[in-house]
Amino acid sequence: MIKIIDTDAYFAKFAPEYIKTRMKGLSPKQVEERIDELYKAFGEEKLEEFGGKSIKDYYMSFTADELVEALKEHLKKDVEPSSYLCEAIAAKPGGEEALVKMLSDGDDEAVLYAMNLLNDKNYTGALETYLNFILSDYTEAVTELATEILSKNADKISAAVLEALPEAPEDKKPNLAEILSFAENSDKIYEALIAEFSSHPGEIPFYANLLSRYGDDRAIEVLTEKIESTQINYGDFQELRCAIEALGGEYNKKRDFTSDKVYQAVQKEKEERAKRFE
């Protein structure tokens, strides 16, 4: 059975001696700048507690399934799993089935570990599960990670996202639209993104950025119509103009935003910055 390892405790014993012998004379700041070296040395240090192996080699001597079980035991005992354990799981072949099981059996912390490790293994068999996470009442951390992973695999999941979008909770629609903005161009996705842009007048910067990323220059006409509106503020104007230019268009009309609170705040910041450099 794999040991429950409190890596921080072992590191706390190892670090002072290493600093004393290998980083003698360095200031605390200089030691901090070389923390990666220190942690690498710790990972390669052979320890009696691991049968004379380094912590890295100790973990690598087990199968992926055994390592996933160790991960679950660490979480159950409220001991933070070390990066060496997670790296070993990611590097070893197998373990996907056990990690997928954690997606439904574990709490949010376990779910986050499982999602990250499946992503490290380039496993795409749980994409629809991640979509359900977004649509369900999971924590923001789970929702954001699911959005990130699905965005990387947008073409594989875009059909399911399009189907879910119309009936999705309002606070989840930005996540679904973000995923679609990473997909290959299609009329259905373009129309969905335009619909979301048009139906969220209070979130112009976010949706303008999505249209810019999506890269369909048909959006220039819609963005230009919106930028002509007298209802937008200076921040909206700037984001819309950037999106139009990113798609190959331009907008050069002069607009008066001197009475706009966003514009005034920007100008005040510019003036204060200029004074600091006088």
Residue 276: what pLDDT?
76
pLDDT in tens, 197-226: 999 999 999 999 999 999 999 999 999 999
Q: Which DSSP state fits 251?
A: -
Q: How many residues does the chain have?
A: 278
Please state the pTM of the whole predicted model.
0.90
Dihedrals phi, psi of 4, to nearest 5 degrees: -80, 115
Residue 57 near residue 88, CB atoms below 8 Å: no
* Locus of tokens 């954690």: 102
Q: In the predicted model, is pLDDT for residue 48 greater than 90?
A: no
Residue 277: what pLDDT?
74
Q: In the predicted model, is pLDDT for residue 12 greater than 80?
A: yes
The span from the CA of 156 to the CA of 168, in Å, is 19
At 46, is the secondary structure helix, strand, or coil? Answer: strand
- Encoding tokens for residue 277? 């450099």
The span from the CA of 201 to the CA of 220, in Å, is 17
Residue 130 near residue 146, CB atoms below 8 Å: yes
| Portion of the chain with pLDDT greater than 70, in percent | 100
Residue 102 near residue 110, CB atoms below 8 Å: yes
pLDDT in tens, 120-154: 999 999 999 999 999 998 999 999 999 999 999 99
